[in-house]
Amino acid sequence: MKDATRLTRLGRPHDDRGLVNPSIERGSTILAPSAAQLYNFPEGRPHYGRVGLESQRSLRAALCELQGGAGCALTCSGMMANTLSILTAVTAGGRVLVSDSVYGPVRGFVLNTLPRYGVTATFYDPHIGPEIEGLMTDDVQAILLESPGSLTMELQDVPMIAEIARRKGVISIIDDTWSAGLTFKPLQMGVDLAVQALTKHAGGHSDVMMGAVVARDEVMADRLREMERGLGIVTAPDDSYLILRGLRTLELRMQRAAQSSLRIADWLSSRSEIGSILHPAHPSHPDHQLFKRDFTGSCGLFSVTFREWNNKHSIRFLDSLDLFGLGFSWGGFESLAIHCDPQLKRSTSRRRHPGALIRFSIGLEDADDLITDISQALDKMSD
């Protein structure tokens, strides 16, 4: 069964009631049938609302099935999903290896919060290749990947790094929000924990925030579940339902956004203002061969460098856009754009971009209309 079909079926009741969607159950207290069962609830029956009711259970099951995982934790944001995955993997005295292209708030967490609990971080170039093994010393407990990288869109050789990590006894974690677990399957490539900001593609309508961590095997799933419950993490039933509803159209929306983004990227590549197109699915991307090997499709998120621009140019360009909103999220129905340089932090990456970096998130608008909007904004730059 292909994912496009699977998305219409996963997380559904499939019982004799005939409902095609799970119920939204709101509750905190769950009464035990007897005193003897207060501490011994029947298998599969929740004992307290914090552990999740029907919509949360259905969403967990759906994400596990889509990604081929053994267990899933839900969080109230993608950032919390990242921190949960890291805390699941590390203990005091350990160290994490972090891709230099990792999401900015995660960078802040490993630099500012983890050291308070005796865990340190070392950043590595996302294009390091097999040399990553030399960094996996005895104190390294986890490695954080993000492919494509946040803002600058570097791809990593995920299967190779996952295999080295497993051989060295290091837990591998990846932020897989860009593919939504649909066009890329990191767990099937050996990664231990796959993180996703469900706020983005899975939600799809810019009206709900949630995250998820999916574990590859039962051992890691038990470890993840213990940390999730130990931290008291809880998600709302209505939010879980909205994410599950968003999954039904995930493939269609991502396919539409991907097609539009490539068309826009092709058009931008002909403009004299452009330095480079940082879209993994575009043939000009330096890691395009990795993309063709590991991914079955792309999405609407990509970045562009502009020759000889500075931050003032970027601000003027963004303020000239009409259809593009200016906002930090992505993966919704609406197109967005941001200038990246004010938040861009790198420690070890070898590649540098000339000029200014702009990130586009392409939504469901007509591609011609978006091209017209970018064109008129660029024309104003020469006025």
- pTM equals 0.95
Domains within the chain, CATH numbers bracketed: 61-248 (3.40.640.10), 250-381 (3.90.1150.10)
- Which of 125, 157, 175, 287 is flagged as catalytic? 175
Other CB atoms within 10 Å distance of the CB of residue 190: 17
Catalytic residue check, 175:
yes
**pLDDT for residue 350:** 63
Q: What is the pLDDT, as a whole number, of residue 351?
A: 59
pLDDT at 321: 98
- Catalytic residue, candidates 3, 6, 12, 50: 50
Among candidate residues 57, 60, 103, 245, the one labeled active-site is 103
- Residue 51 has a pLDDT of 87
From residue 152, alpha-carbon distances to 198, 261, 286, 301, 335 in Å are 21, 16, 12, 11, 18
Q: What is the pLDDT of residue 49?
A: 85
Quote the pLDDT of residue 91: 97
Please pick, among 57, 200, 216, 245, the residue that the annotation labels catalytic.
200
In the annotation, is 319 catalytic?
A: no
To the query of whether residue 103 is one of the catalytic residues in this protein, the response is yes
Is residue 53 within 8 A of residue 25, CB to CB? The reply is yes
Q: Which of 47, 46, 65 is nearest to 212 (CA)?
A: 65
Per-residue pLDDT of the chain (383 residues; tens, 9 = 90+): 899 999 999 998 877 888 888 989 899 998 888 898 888 877 778 888 888 899 999 999 999 999 999 999 999 999 999 999 999 999 999 999 999 999 999 999 999 999 999 999 999 999 999 999 999 999 999 999 999 998 999 999 999 999 999 999 999 999 999 999 999 999 999 999 999 999 999 999 999 999 999 999 999 999 999 999 999 999 999 999 999 999 999 999 999 999 999 999 999 999 999 999 999 999 999 999 999 999 999 999 999 999 999 999 999 999 999 999 999 999 999 999 999 988 888 888 665 777 899 999 999 999 999 999 999 999 999 87
